[in-house]
Structure 1
Amino acid sequence: MDFQLSDDQRALRGGVRDLFEGRFDTAALRAAVDRGTPSPDRALWRELGDAGFFSLRVPEEEGGVGLGLPEAVLAFEEAGRALLPGPLVATFLAARDVEGAARGAVVVTAVVDDGSGGLVPWLDEADVVLGDVSGAVPLRSVDPLTPLHRVPGGAGAAAPEAFRRAEADLLIAAEQLGSAGKTCEMAVRYARQRTQFGQVIGAFQAVKHLCAQMLVRTEIARAAVYAAAVTNDPLEIAGAKLLADEAAVRGARDCLQVHGGMGFTWESDVHLHLKRAWVRAGLGRSAAGAEEELAAAL
C-alpha cells in the first residue's frame, strides 16, 4: 500500500500552512499570549470556516468539502505547528451537528473525560458546550492560551458519543505531531546559528544526538498518526496518540535544551510548545489509558 501523500493532499497541507502563516504567525501568537486573557479570534475562526477547515469531512451534498480523515489529520497537523488556540477539535467534530460550526460562526467545546472527572477547554468563550458542565470550576492552566475548567463526576460528565472520542484523539495526536515537527525544526535552526567555542553548537555530538532523537520520535509518530488516519482503527489511534504525545512533549523539552538558557525565557516560543503539549497530552486518551488498551489487545 502506498502511504505517500497525493498531489492534492500536499496542496491541501500547503494551503493550510500558508493560511496559518499569513493569519497567525509568530507575531500574532505572541500578541495573543501578551493579552493575558485568551479568547478565540472570531475573525480568524470565520476565515477558517470560509476556507473549509471545519467542513473538511462534511459531505459535499451538505455544503462541505467532502474529504476524509487523512486530510483532516494533515490540516490539524498544521494547526499544531502554528499553536493555533481555541477548541478546534470540538468545533470540527460538531460541524454536521451544530448549526454554524462548519462556517466558523459558532465556537464549540466539549467535556473530555480524563478518568477522574472532565476537562473543558475554553468553556467561558464557547457558544456551544457538548456535555454536562454542572459544577465546573476554573482550573489553572499551564498553557496561557488554553483556559481550562474541571467538571467533577468521572465519565458521566463526558461529552455525548457524537463527539467521537477516537477521532478526537487522532486529531489531537495530529496537533501534537505538528508541534513536534516544529520544535525539531526550531532546534536544528538554532543549532546551526548559535556558536560556542568558535563553532556552531550543532557540531557538538550531544546536540546532534538531541536533534536526531527529536527527528526519530517525530517520524515514528508521523507514521503512526497517518496510518491510523487511513484505518480509523481505535487501537491504532491509541498507539498514535501515545507516540504523538511523547514526540511533542519530549521534543519540546529537547528543543529547550538545545536553546540552553535562552529556551527558558518568556521571549522564546519553545516554552509555549512545551506547555501546549502538556495540556494536549491531558486531553482525550491519556498515556496510561492508551498503554492499558494496547496491552489488553495484545
Structure 2
Amino acid sequence: MDFQLTQDQRALRAGVRELLEGRFGGAALRAAADRGTPSLDRALWRELGDAGFFSLRVPEEAGGVGLGLPEAVLAFEEAGRALLPGPLVATFLAAPDVTGAAQGATVVTAVSGGLVPWLDEADVVHGDASGALPLRSVDPLTPLHRVRDDGGRGSGTASEADLLLAAEQLGSAGKTCEMAVRHARERTQFGRSIGSFQAVKHLCAQMLVRAEVARAAVYAASVTGDAAEIAAAKLLADEAAVRGARDCLQVHGGMGFTWEADVHLHLKRAWVRAGLGRSAARAEEELAAAL
C-alpha cells in the first residue's frame, strides 16, 4: 500500500504555500500582529475564495473543486504554517451550504468548545452565540468571545472541524521545528553553532518526532474519517504545536521571548487552537472508550 502523496496532492500543497507566502508572508504577518487590534482582511478572504481554498470539497457540479478531506488537510496544514488568521474552518465547512462562503464573500464562524473566534467580523454564526462575552485573547491575531459550553460536541462536521484544526496545528508544529533547526545552525556560542550542543539537538529531535507522529495521525484520520482517529489526531497535533513552539522558544533563548521574534505568535495561536473544538481531556476520554 502506498502512503505517499500523489503528484496532484503535492502540487496542491505547493500551490497553497506559494499563494500564502506571496499574500501573507513574514512581513504581512508582522504587520498584522503589530496592528494591535485584529481585523479580517476581506480582500485576502476573497482571494482565497477565488483560488478555490474554501470550495475544495464542494462538488464540481456545484462550482467547486470536488476534492476530498485529505486534500483539505493539506491546505489547512499550509494555513497553519503561515499562521493565516480568520475563521477558516467554519467558513470552509459552510461553503457547500452558505451563499458566498465558497467564494470568500461571506465570513462564517461557529461556536466551538465554548469559544467563538472572530464573532464581530462574521457575517454568519453557526451555533448559539447569544450572551457571548468578549474574552481577552492571548493571540493578537485571533479575537475571541466566550459562551457557556454545553459540551455538545457530536460527530459529522464537528469531527471534521477538529481534524482541520489538527491540520493547522500540524502546520505550525512543522514550521516551528524548521525555525528551531535554522536558528540552531546559525546561532554561534563559544565559537560553535548551538546546534552542536547535545541539549539543543535533543530539543530539535523531540520537536521533529512529535510533528511526524502527529502528521501520521492527521493524514490517516483524513483518509478514514473515523471519529476516534480524529480525536487522536487532534490530541497529538495540539501537543506537537504547543510543545513544539515552547521548545522552539527555548532554542532561541532570550530573544525567543521578545515581541520581534515570531516564535511567540506560533505558541499563542497553538494555545488558542487547542481551546477550540475537542479538548484534550475529552479526546482522551473518547479514545479510552473506543479502546
Does the TM-score normalized on the shorter chain lie above 0.5? yes
Partner of 2:123: 127
Equivalent residue letter for 1:56: L
CA distance in 2, matches of 1:68, 1:46: 22
CA distance in 1, matches of 2:204, 2:260: 22
After superposition, residues 106-121 of structure 1 pair within 5 angstroms as 106-112=106-112, 114=113, 118-121=114-117
Partner of 1:174: 167
Unaligned runs of 5+ in 1: none
Aligned CA-pair RMSD: 1.2
Partner of 1:27: 27
Answering whether residue 85 of structure 2 is matched by residue 89 of structure 1, we say: no
- Asked if the contact 1:121/1:149 (under 8 Å) is kept, the reply is yes
Answering whether residue 215 of structure 2 is matched by residue 219 of structure 1, we say: no
- Match of 1:144, SS state, is coil
Per-residue deviation at 1:105?
A: 0.4
After superposition, residues 43-82 of structure 1 pair within 5 angstroms as 43-82=43-82
Partner of 2:229: 236
Unaligned runs of 5+ in 2: none
- Match of 1:179, SS state, is helix
Per-residue deviation at 1:163?
A: 7.5
CA distance in 1, matches of 2:162, 2:71: 15
Per-residue deviation at 1:294?
A: 0.4
| Runs ≥4 residues deviating over 3 A | none
Indicate which of 183, 196, 200 corresponds to 2:176.
Answer: 183
Equivalent residue letter for 2:119: L
- Match of 2:145, SS state, is strand
Answering whether residue 15 of structure 2 is matched by residue 15 of structure 1, we say: yes
Answering whether residue 266 of structure 2 is matched by residue 273 of structure 1, we say: yes
CA distance in 1, matches of 2:10, 2:73: 12
Per-residue deviation at 1:3?
A: 1.1
Query: Number of matched residues?
Result: 291
CA distance in 2, matches of 1:175, 1:162: 20
Equivalent residue letter for 1:203: S
Per-residue deviation at 1:153?
A: 5.2
- Asked if the contact 1:90/1:163 (under 8 Å) is kept, the reply is no
Instruction: Give CA deviations for 1:3-46 in whole Å, capped at 9, x if unaligned.
Output: 10000000000000000000000100011111111111101100
- Asked if the contact 1:94/1:163 (under 8 Å) is kept, the reply is no
Per-residue deviation at 1:162?
A: 9.6
Indicate which of 132, 137, 143 corresponds to 2:139.
Answer: 143
Q: TM-score, normalised by structure 2?
A: 0.98
Instruction: Give CA deviations for 1:91-126 in whole Å, capped at 9, x if unaligned.
Output: 0000011100000001100011x3xxx210000011
- Asked if the contact 1:55/1:102 (under 8 Å) is kept, the reply is yes
Equivalent residue letter for 2:107: V
Partner of 1:253: 246
Q: TM-score, normalised by structure 1?
A: 0.96
CA distance in 2, matches of 1:2, 1:237: 21
Partner of 2:201: 208
- Asked if the contact 2:155/2:227 (under 8 Å) is kept, the reply is no
CA distance in 1, matches of 2:260, 2:92: 31
Equivalent residue letter for 2:189: Q
- Match of 1:154, SS state, is coil
